[in-house]
Every structure is written in structure tokens, then in C-alpha cells.
Structure 1
């Protein structure tokens, strides 16, 4: 029994070895992901899961379009799309590590590109659904989320430690907030305008804080490298 437990812990460490999570839901999320990677059929590859994640973003887009042209209740389709997006995006890299078949740099590159495409699709959906000046929020959301993605890549470059979270908030928390906004919009029409504005404001503040931290990290590395050169 102890041997099996040690093997389980070793497998779990391998699955999450390439990144550090700091988000609020990191512990239950990791437990859920580790449970799911063991249940995924062998014929489903990491790339297929990446495709499933993008399909989730497409479903969110379709939900916005149908909500605009057919009925607002189709926004709930977007909630399903966000769940599918989380499933594919969370499992694609983890299953590669679980199967001991990681393609670190290929997977890293593909993941970043697909995350950006997914963000654009969701922003486009909000653009279709929004009206008048609130259409600008879709553009602002995509820009701010893209800013956060750039920060994460630069932080990786400077520190050699990869994290996709901004402190206590990460992509999972953002998905949950978007899902709640969609549900609220169905129950309380036009609430998405205020919620979208608040969310963009929160992202802007988080990006500013993370940019300041990033610049400090860059300065610290510069100082360390200059000290190392002087000591030669």
C-alpha cells in the first residue's frame, strides 16, 4: 500500500513538474486533473485535447452569436464551452507528462498560440453580442488578457520558472468569472455590460501590478549578472 502511494505521489509530481501554480483553486484543480489524466483513453492524444480546448472556445463564440440573433439563453452554451475549453487546455500538456511523453518546447509553443486564439474567439463572441460603446470592452479584454500572457512569458525568460497565474488568479478563475457573467446575463439582461467593465478594470490593475513585479525581477537579474561579471 505504501509503495503504491509513493508511486502515485511520484507520478503526480511528474505531471506538474514543469510549472508552479499559485491560483486559489490550484489544489483541487490539480487533484481533478490528476484524476482525469488517468481516465483518458489511450487513443486520445495531447494534440487532440488541445483541439478539444479550442473547440470549447468556438462553442463560446457560437453561444454569443446565437444569444444575439436567436435567444439570450444560448449564453448558457458558452458555459459548457468554457468547461470544454478548461478540460482540453488543462489536460493536453498534463497527459503528455503523465504518459512520460512530454514535448516540452513544442507543447509550450502550441499551448501559448492556442490560448491566444481561444481568447480572441471569446472576445469576438462578446463583440458580436455587445452593443454600442460596450463593443469596445471585447477589444479591451483581449488586449488585457494578451498583456497578462506576455508577462508570463517574460517572467519565464527572466526567472526560468514558468507560471500561468497572476498571484491568486489564473486562467481557471477567469473562466469561472466569465461563466458567472454569462449566467447573470441570462438571469439579469444587460448585467454583462457592468460585469464586463468590472472584469476589464480588475485585469488592468492585475496587469499593472504584475508588470511592476516583472520589471523588478528584470532589474534584480541585471544586477546579479553585472555583479557576476565584476567578480571575474
Structure 2
């Protein structure tokens, strides 16, 4: 049997997040109406530009909290590009599985570093806390990519949450930043957003550990 990855069976996509069905209907509606000159690669680039907008808004918020509106807009742009690039390719039946998988997830990794790391360059969260959150997200992403290879399941959601729910959570957090502020909580050298970031990070790392153990036990009963 050939070991050529191009001939391998593609992994089963598992998406059980809260908004999955409504989002799928919206994406299909958009795919049917996008001009033919719009390509998946252009949408991938647009999603990355949205991530850059997010980071820029956070950094400029040192000058004025009003710049956080740029970050919120960037999240929407990132969702549009990142959610539609693969959807459009599948809608038009022009998938390039190996190329799309590699490019899309490579860009996603950089986008997460920009968006979440950018929060650490704002007045509201410490940079080290933001990087811990990035590490937690990327650890879970690594598990997803490994499971897609060895189990044949590409999980797009955990605990009923996926990338879209994460963006909505970050948008809500960003909207609260001017209201709550970035002051330390009771002199512990952590702001409210630092504590929230550490909580989310701990959940991501815990998911990585538990899912890794679960998958390892599943594989232990196989002979390959």
C-alpha cells in the first residue's frame, strides 16, 4: 500500500461547537454569493490581515482606548477570511487538500500569535500571560493535527467551543477593556484580564493533557 499522503483518506471533520450549524448556513450563503474572482488564497490573506489589524489595535490602545475598535473590526475580518477560505474551496469543488491544509494552518498559527500576543502588547494584559495563552492554544492545535494523522479525526471544537466562539469571547473581552481597565487587582501585579488569561490558558493546557492521554490509551490497543 502506498504511503503517499495525497492518497490517504482525509480525516473526518468533527465540529460540535455551539454555533456550528448557524455558522455553516451563513458560510454557505456567503459562498454562493462571492464573486468568482475571489479565491481561497485571497481569503486566507484577508484573514491574516485581520489578525494584523487586531494586534495593531491593541498596541495603539496605549494612545487611546478608541483604537480597540480596530481590534474588534480585525476579529470580524479574520473570521470572514479564515472561515471562508476552506469553505469556498469545498463549495466550488476546487480543494487542494495538502496545500490548503499546510498553508491554512501555518497562517492560523501566526494569526493566533498576532491576535493573542497582541493583547499582551496592550495596557490591559501582561505579555508573558498572553504568551502562555498562545502556548496553550498551540498545544491544543498540535494535538488536533496529530490526532488527524493517527486517529483520522480532525476536531474543530472542544467543550462546545471552536474558533468562532473564541473570537466572540475575545471581542467581548476587548469591549470590556476600557470599562474594567488594566489596573492590578489588589496589588498582586495581575490585572483582571491577566487572571482571565491565566484561567483560559489553564483550561487549554488541561484539555491538551487529557485529550493526549485519551488518544494515547486509544492507540495503545492498536498494533500499528
TM-score between the two structures when normalised by the length of structure 2: 0.85
Task: Verify the 8 A CA contact 1:75 1:182 in the aligned structure 2.
Answer: yes
Structure-2 separation of matches of 1:123 and 1:21: 23
Which residue among 69, 75, 96 is the counterpart of 1:76? 69
User: Cα deviation per residue 1:11-70 (whole Å; 9 max; x = unaligned)?
Assistant: xxxxxx9622111111111111111111111001000000000010010011112211x2
CA distance in 1 between partners of 2:145 and 2:120 (Å): 27
Partner of 1:161: 153
1:13 corresponds to: none
Superposed displacement of residue 222, structure 1: 2.7
Within the candidate set 82, 101, 108, 2:101 is matched to 108
Map of 1:5-154 to 2, 5 A cutoff? Answer: 19-68=13-62, 70-130=63-123, 134-154=126-146
The counterpart of 1:185, out of the listed 171, 177, 180, is: 177
| Secondary structure at the counterpart of residue 33 of structure 2 | coil
Contact 1:166 1:206 in 2 (8 A): no
Larger Rg: 1
Tell me the matched-pair count.
208
CA distance in 1, matches of 2:89, 2:110: 22
Unaligned runs of 5+ in 2: 1-10, 184-189
Give the 3 Å change call, closer, same or farther, for CA 210–128 of structure 1 in structure 2: closer
- Aligned-pair CA distance for 1:76: 1.5
Structure 1: which 5+ residue stretches go unaligned? 1-16, 227-232
Misfit runs of 4+, over 4 Å: none
Q: Which position in structure 2 is the counterpart of 1:5? A: none
2:31–2:84 contact (8 Å) kept in structure 1: yes
RMSD: 2.1
**What is the DSSP-based 3-state SS (H/G/I as helix, E as strand, rest coil) of the residue aligned with 1:19?**
strand
- CA–CA distance in 1 between the matches of 2:164 and 2:195? 19
Residue 199 of structure 2, aligned match among 198, 201, 209: 201
